[in-house]
Structure 1
């Protein structure tokens, strides 16, 4: 039922936008195949939902229902995460979200080419703090606090830095 309810809400929102051609992607094989007419709807609770969806789609010139497996539905998870992060008042207009798709992971764009390269491994500052209780030269108070918090999760055995675990 939840899948049908989400479908109905989405279709109603699209109708308000005056869109006439619609592709609906869903990760419920049951709902998608029932709406395509490939499977019979036997559950009495679902029959009314199916009828409502089929009534709503009459507003469109063309509608297709496409099955998209859950593990391939990354965009839906990303949008759900974004939606859970913001609060919207009913009186406010919601600004559109502009998205870009990059071939390289986003964290790689945080590293600028002109940054100084120090040839130290990522754990160097943690190692130095665990060994000698020394901070990097230009460390701010916030940097020092963060380094202390990170170092708690590591233990130094001679010259080898280990991450603390239950064992």
Structure 2
């Protein structure tokens, strides 16, 4: 018996809903591999209000309070699964055209440009996203630093 408080995850695992993204699909595929190691498996949704330990842990995680003794925390810095890239087969009669992407830019450049001289992207949505996200950053000696919830520089 597997109990979870995510309606999305439980419905995907019960095959009530189809996986709508490659990431969720990759996690579902990984779980399907583990299902063969059990004689039977059932997935049940538990409302978070009826699951006090999980509710308390989620509140600790979202509020950044001190972790109580007896609770271990492990920060996952990389995804626990690898997405499989789809490979399209091209019939031999067709020509394959490769588009060379523009050089990859450092994600920090847009924040540094905005914070130093208010330079924003041309797209309105990207501009709004940049302005909103830049409130979490500050420049210290030309280096981009992230501020914590209490305005301390990390």
Please state which band the TM-score falls in when normalised by the shorter chain: 0.3 to 0.5
Give the number of the structure with larger relative contact order, counting CA–CA contacts within 8 Å between residues 6 or more apart: 1
TM-score by length of 2: 0.38
TM-score by length of 1: 0.36
More helix by share: 1
